[in-house]
Structure 1
Amino acid sequence: MRLPFFFVLLTVMIDAMGIGLVLPIMPDLIVEVQGGTLASAAIWGGVLSTSFAAMQFVFGPILGNLSDAYGRRIVLLVSLFVMALDYVVMAIAGSIWLLLAGRIVGGITAATHSTAAAFMADVSKPHEKAANFGLLGAAFGVGFVLGPVIGGLLSEYGTRAPFWAAAILSSLSFFIGVFVMPETVTDKTRRPFSLRRANPVNSLRAIAELPGIRPLLWVYFLYSVSIYVYPAIWAYFTTERFGWSAQMIGLSLGVYGIGMAAVQGGLIRPATRHLGERVTIIYGMAFEIVSFLLLSFLTNGLIALLLIPITALGAVVTPALQALMSRATPDSQQGELQGVLTSLHALSMVISPLLMTSMFAQFVKPGTALYLPGAPFLLAMVLMIVGFTMFLRSRPNKA
């Protein structure tokens, strides 16, 4: 199973790289195809990002349900093939509407994280699930770090170069998958596709009806909204509070991404083996709560930089939560579960930036009654405490 594991991890990494690869060139590209000012480009950039996340929200359960019915292999391969074509289209796009269509299709194809996680659930023994979900998180973290770096380097060759690079990577992954990816859905675990169940809301209801799952879904959602405070306001917060340059901000985000990948790829295995998923989640959320509290009132940039590896320790929560929910879900619904989690994560990517940036603006605007750039971290801490309390009261069953 080593080659299939490599293929699935590579697919998740490419999905994550696709998010960040185009970020460095997007302002220049939008001005190039649309004209106008940087301010108008920023508005279109927000539209493109939101459409990408919205498609992940809608299509996460659809692809998860399709993989339960027709198999993980076909869903992953078709998504990679379409993803490669989509990058080619964006590389030659001459209008903002074609770019928008490209990001919509890209959001759909990037929703395969649910199918990749379902594959991991298929091939993992119960005690291995947290560690293998952690490998997926590590692959996503590596891709999230590499994407902007590679995109920035390739931008020297023009605004279209990152798209051509992404198309080549997707094509390479597709051809690897054709030869090494087995099918893990059997006749015993196959479940007929239902369009009604593939609806994000109906999928959520179906999974929430499983014993003990509903509170864990809330915990997962609140955790995702809280943790997204970092990409949502970090650049603004560190500029306002510490006067950091763009290079310093990029370095700090890179350190966080590497720390997260190390925790989810390495630390999660011994943590769950010695502590179990439940205690691992408790420690992880406690680390996050303390980190949010410290960042809320921190005024020293060096201490903030040193604190980053500690904040990354909280990254054990996501794979451990996935493992708990996976063990409480029948084999025939693993794809549906992972599709629901993908939707909840995508929804948090829509809600959290709006919430956190609004909070930041309120507490740093001229004439504000209370100047507190770290206010969004306080809000994230409150949401995390609510999720932490719900988790302590939860008692998930095993399927």
Structure 2
Amino acid sequence: MTEATNSVTNPATNSPTNSATNTVTNTAANKASTKALSVIFAAIGLDAVGIGLIFPILPRLLEEVTHGDNVAPYIGIMTALYAVMQFIFAPVLGALSDRLGRRPVLLISLAGAAINYLVMAFAPQLWMLLLGRAIAGLTSANMSVAMAYITDISPEDQRARRFGLFNAVFGAGFIIGPILGGVLGDYGLRLPFIAAAILNAANLLMAYFVLPESRTPSREKLDLAALNPLLPMRWIFAMKNLVPVTVVFFILSMTGEVYGTCWALWGNDVFRWNGLWIGLSLGTYGLCQALAQAFLPGPAVKLLGERGTILTGFAGTCLALVVMAFAKQGWMVFAVMPVFVMGGVGIPALQSLASRMVDESRQGQFQGVLASAVSLASIIGPLMFSTLYFVVRSQWPGAIWLTVVVVYAIAVPLVLSLRFRSAA
């Protein structure tokens, strides 16, 4: 009787027409969300391609413009400069995206990326290369805006999966970027930059015509204090439960910088790899990372929990690094690549957790702060690891990978002390 009464008094609730309308509405919303995510992931993939394509050719490019053989310090400086610009502009772009909207900030960043690659494609002197990397660092600060965009359009129960896809796409960029850089670089050192400029220009056009705004801009007046990259860090330290998560991001980012800084030099010194083999090895690394972060984070967190997932990633990475440190033949590097699969499973879970620890209206600011912390580590990492490689290069180049293991070992107690709970 109750069910019959409800059917009569609330006909719209159970109406087939209403159900069909809801289905159509949900389908349209899902299609719009899929289109938006496709553009965002394309932008992130191109960022990774741009970062990765320079790795195989950077030593030779620096030798050409500096007319010297010892280019390790220049590699550290160029990588650190890129990160300095990220550190300065990531929170600014994040705050601007909260006030003006995600879409205009992303469009400006994509346009800047295309311009940067054109500059580097025709730079005849070192200072012009440095200028190009500075512009690249500034425009790559759109990573924080892209993550905020994903947060805007994703329900909480889908964020871990989509952040995993975010990192998987970034990993896929590291498959394409180094291989593209290695292959094209063997024909001409400047060709990879021309290709990257064309790809970024195409993505800019796609974003302009397809990407909708993900949230209503606040239109609040921007406080000039937001332009200080150190000021947002006060906000993190004022919320003490966010400090450990931020520090973990810092450590993971710092260790991640060793690959871009030292891989090409190490591959050439130990195995006499040319640009193609350096690109293939980095591409294989990116493939393993992409597969891991696309398929493993969800099941890993369910099975091991957040802390266990992060520690499992540490263990897999350290095991692979030890093998690489003692490798005498190039095939050993490729054989150990699948072990790197475990290295990235904890990051998406950490990102999903962090996104739930602040109010929705401040997601852009928080993601910008995290990006700044990561960028700060990316300043320290290249300078530190390039210096260490310069020290160990003549005696044992592979020792550089053991220094990364030491950093992970220092981070383990911090991970064990993490308490995953939402901010008040």
Place the TM-score, normalised by the shorter chain, in its bin. 0.7 to 0.9
Over 3 Å counting, the alpha-carbon distance change for 1:297 and 1:101 in structure 2 is closer
| Structure 1: runs of 5+ lacking an equivalent | 367-371
Structure 2 residue 310 is the aligned partner of structure 1 residue 281: yes
Structure 2 residue 38 is the aligned partner of structure 1 residue 6: yes
In structure 2, how many angstroms separate the alpha carbons of the residues matched to 1:29 and 1:297?
28
Q: 1:178 aligns with which of 208, 212, 216?
A: 208
Q: Give every structure 1 segment of 4 or more consecutive aligned residues whose post-TM-superposition deviation is greater than 6 Å.
A: none
Report if the CA contact (8 A) 1:237-1:373 is conserved: yes
Q: How many residues matched? A: 390
- Match of residue 392 from structure 1: 416
In structure 2, how many angstroms separate the alpha carbons of the residues matched to 1:158 and 1:239?
19
Alignment of 1:189-338 (within 5 A): 193-237=222-266, 243=271, 245-246=273-274, 247-296=276-325, 302-338=331-367
- Tell me the amino acid that sits aligned with residue 337 of structure 2: I
The structural deviation recorded for 1:294 is 4.9
- Match of residue 80 from structure 1: 110
- Tell me the amino acid that sits aligned with residue 289 of structure 2: M
**What TM-score do you get using the length of structure 2 for normalisation?**
0.81
Report if the CA contact (8 A) 2:75-2:386 is conserved: no
Report if the CA contact (8 A) 2:57-2:189 is conserved: yes
Mean Cα displacement is larger for which, 219-228 or 85-94? 85-94
Q: Deviations over 1:180-214 (max 9, x none)?
A: 21222236x77753332342221122123235110
Q: 1:15 aligns with which of 27, 47, 57?
A: 47
- Match of residue 140 from structure 1: 170
Over 3 Å counting, the alpha-carbon distance change for 1:312 and 1:210 in structure 2 is same
Mean Cα displacement is larger for which, 245-254 or 314-323? 245-254
- Match of residue 369 from structure 1: none
The structural deviation recorded for 1:42 is 6.3
Report if the CA contact (8 A) 1:84-1:168 is conserved: yes
- Tell me the amino acid that sits aligned with residue 301 of structure 2: T
The structural deviation recorded for 1:152 is 3.3
Report if the CA contact (8 A) 1:211-1:396 is conserved: no
Over 3 Å counting, the alpha-carbon distance change for 1:267 and 1:378 in structure 2 is same
Structure 2 residue 157 is the aligned partner of structure 1 residue 109: no
Over 3 Å counting, the alpha-carbon distance change for 1:326 and 1:20 in structure 2 is same
Mean Cα displacement is larger for which, 146-155 or 310-319? 146-155
In structure 2, how many angstroms separate the alpha carbons of the residues matched to 1:235 and 1:43?
14
The structural deviation recorded for 1:299 is 5.7
In structure 2, how many angstroms separate the alpha carbons of the residues matched to 1:110 and 1:392?
32
In structure 2, how many angstroms separate the alpha carbons of the residues matched to 1:85 and 1:297?
42
Report if the CA contact (8 A) 1:122-1:184 is conserved: yes
Q: Deviations over 1:222-273 (max 9, x none)?
A: 1222333333334455566x64533544433222111001111222233335
Q: Secondary structure of 1:396's partner?
A: coil
- Tell me the amino acid that sits aligned with residue 383 of structure 1: V
- Match of residue 120 from structure 1: 150
- Match of residue 25 from structure 2: none
In structure 1, how many angstroms separate the alpha carbons of the residues matched to 2:96 and 2:161?
25
The structural deviation recorded for 1:71 is 1.4
In structure 2, how many angstroms separate the alpha carbons of the residues matched to 1:40 and 1:377?
20
In structure 2, how many angstroms separate the alpha carbons of the residues matched to 1:395 and 1:281?
13
What fraction of aligned residue pairs are identical, expressed as a percent?
38
Structure 2 residue 80 is the aligned partner of structure 1 residue 50: yes
Greater Rg over alpha carbons, structure: 2
- Match of residue 381 from structure 2: 352
Over 3 Å counting, the alpha-carbon distance change for 1:245 and 1:28 in structure 2 is closer
In structure 2, how many angstroms separate the alpha carbons of the residues matched to 1:385 and 1:45?
26
Over 3 Å counting, the alpha-carbon distance change for 1:150 and 1:297 in structure 2 is closer
Over 3 Å counting, the alpha-carbon distance change for 1:192 and 1:117 in structure 2 is farther
In structure 1, how many angstroms separate the alpha carbons of the residues matched to 2:132 and 2:265?
28
Report if the CA contact (8 A) 1:272-1:280 is conserved: yes
Q: Deviations over 1:48-91 (max 9, x none)?
A: 33322211121111111111221111110111122223333443
- Tell me the amino acid that sits aligned with residue 285 of structure 2: Y
Over 3 Å counting, the alpha-carbon distance change for 1:173 and 1:243 in structure 2 is closer
Q: Deviations over 1:286-320 (max 9, x none)?
A: 33344445555566765543222112311112222
- Tell me the amino acid that sits aligned with residue 324 of structure 1: L
- Match of residue 23 from structure 2: none
Mean Cα displacement is larger for which, 66-75 or 2-11? 66-75
- Tell me the amino acid that sits aligned with residue 13 of structure 1: G
In structure 2, how many angstroms separate the alpha carbons of the residues matched to 1:300 and 1:151?
23
Alignment of 1:64-75 (within 5 A): 64-75=94-105
The structural deviation recorded for 1:114 is 0.8
In structure 2, how many angstroms separate the alpha carbons of the residues matched to 1:163 and 1:136?
24
Q: Secondary structure of 1:186's partner?
A: coil
Q: Secondary structure of 1:183's partner?
A: coil
Over 3 Å counting, the alpha-carbon distance change for 1:38 and 1:5 in structure 2 is same
Mean Cα displacement is larger for which, 64-73 or 204-213? 204-213
In structure 1, how many angstroms separate the alpha carbons of the residues matched to 2:293 and 2:404?
21
In structure 2, how many angstroms separate the alpha carbons of the residues matched to 1:148 and 1:127?
34
The structural deviation recorded for 1:388 is 2.3
CA RMSD of aligned residues (A): 3.0
- Match of residue 28 from structure 2: none
Q: Secondary structure of 2:141's partner?
A: helix
| Structure 2: runs of 5+ lacking an equivalent | 1-32
- Match of residue 369 from structure 2: 340
- Tell me the amino acid that sits aligned with residue 8 of structure 1: I
Structure 2 residue 407 is the aligned partner of structure 1 residue 383: yes
